[in-house]
Chain A
């Protein structure tokens, strides 16, 4: 295996309701991540993009995004219809194959283009689920009901996750909501979409995230302290909610075990928590010790969820903690689908 590290990260200011096109959204963040790395775009030998045509509203919309990269002289690029974290995975594979040394990956999404709660129904079975239009919040509510019923997550843990996300969001600045409420205060609020209160739901956002990864010598040349990707794995559960044990995340547990999350201490874990109950489900699946591991210090997707970018941002924030020495060993996680259907987990190390 080649040593591959994250060497630069940039994320756009999160908004809701931008009138910019995807290309207009992507250009500044791609420029910023190149500037952070201190390299020219000609030094990038693989580009990989994560986005969703359905959100953009036209087939093959990702082809237009190449305008944001500059397609001349010719570049080698690819696209995944997934969060940018999976684009990072593809780029990592490409570098492992020896076909690239420096890759720029990015994800972008404009959640304000429509009602994403309703639209995300379309990830489900097109004949037995989608025609009923359950919406993401309702499906996640069923998952939360399962976890609460089984006792794998408590209502208090959900409130604590939301409370911490809102406090950390206030420090981060680049989020859509923040607050200083205690878990008790949040628990005293009304249940709106049972079993959820409003703060249990993600703050949907428009945004872009970009990361540069590089192999061995190139990584050391670009970054003072690369966040070495020691292991990365992604797994998937069945899409049919009735076939799954929604009280636990089986696929996240397998991915965490494959990458050896527990082989050593974990200083921070950036978890892609889009609904508050996910946090404890992921802590359980990754077997994290909350007394030793700081969970999602960026605030995470609960306080700013730019679909298709928020997962890659978790990798970026985990890497940043390695860059600045806050962490020596970090875990980055991203998810996609209803009820933590797909999970990607990576271990990042500074040394």
Chain B
């Protein structure tokens, strides 16, 4: 907010109001599990961890959800997958990775056993269906963040 001009508004009841934009200006250490996952995204690979029962978690689970055991067995999964569930965002927020109306989906990546949430670039609701195939679209910039995947888009009609 530094340097921004404060915009004070007179309300109808005589009070004054001004915008307050909260932010989260910290650097944080990710820990070994998310550090590896997000670093692999910067290399355009998607990796998950394998639980003791063989299930592959993407994003990775640090500990086995059933037993609590630390998970260190890493598996690379595909950058294509199947839409398990979806919903429609008619008006994108300014901080979404897409600026036209798009879909959200839980996507089961090939080789994963737990679906991951991400955006799907589709031109209309009619283009979305449970079971459809989608493929990752990588962002131009190679960054260790979930937004390294800009979105997914439908493949195979």
Contacts and interface: CB of A to CB of B under 8 A. Distances in A.
The judgment on whether A and B are partners is: yes
Interface of A: 19, 54, 57, 115, 118, 125, 127-129, 131-135, 137-146, 149, 191-196, 238, 240-243, 246
Contact of A194 (B65, B96, B114, B125): B125
Interface residues of B, number: 39
| Residue among B20, B85, B95, B97 having the largest count of chain A Cβ atoms under 10 Å | B85
Residue among A132, A143, A149, A246 facing the most chain B CB atoms (10 A cut-off): A132
B125 A132 contact: no
Interface in B117-157: 117-119, 125, 128, 130, 145-147
A125 B89 contact: no
Interface in B48-96: 57, 59, 65, 84-90, 93, 95-96
Nearest first, the 4 A-B pairs at minimum CB distance are A141-B87, A194-B88, A145-B85, A128-B59
Contacts of B89: 134-135, 138, 193
Interface of B: 11, 13, 15, 17, 20, 22, 30, 34, 37-38, 57, 59, 65, 84-90, 93, 95-97, 104-106, 114-119, 125, 128, 130, 145-147
Contacts of B20: 57
A242 B115 contact: yes
Contact of A241 (B17, B30, B106): B106
Contacts of B146: 127-129, 131-132
A131 B145 contact: yes
A118 B147 contact: no
Contacts of A246: 85
Given A132-B119, A134-B117, A144 B87 contact: yes
28 contacts: A19-B15, A57-B20, A127-B30, A127-B59, A128-B34, A128-B37, A128-B59, A131-B147, A132-B118, A132-B119, A132-B146, A134-B89, A138-B104, A139-B117, A141-B87, A141-B88, A142-B86, A142-B117, A145-B85, A145-B130, A194-B125, A195-B87, A196-B87, A241-B106, A242-B106, A242-B116, A243-B57, A243-B114
Residue among A115, A142, A196, A241 with the highest chain B CB neighbour number at 10 A: A142
A132 B117 contact: yes
Given A127-B146, A142-B85, A142-B86, A132 B97 contact: yes
Nearest to A58: B20
Nearest to A144: B87
A195 B104 CA distance: 12
A142 B105 contact: yes
A194 B87 contact: yes
Nearest to B116: A242
B87 A145 contact: yes
Nearest to B112: A242
Given A19-B13, A131-B147, A193-B90, A238 B85 contact: no
B13 A243 contact: no
Contact of B93 (A118, A125, A144): A118
Nearest to B145: A131
Contacts of B85: 142-143, 145-146, 149, 246
A128 B34 CA distance: 9
B31 to A, nearest CB: 10
A141 B106 CA distance: 11
A243 B15 contact: no
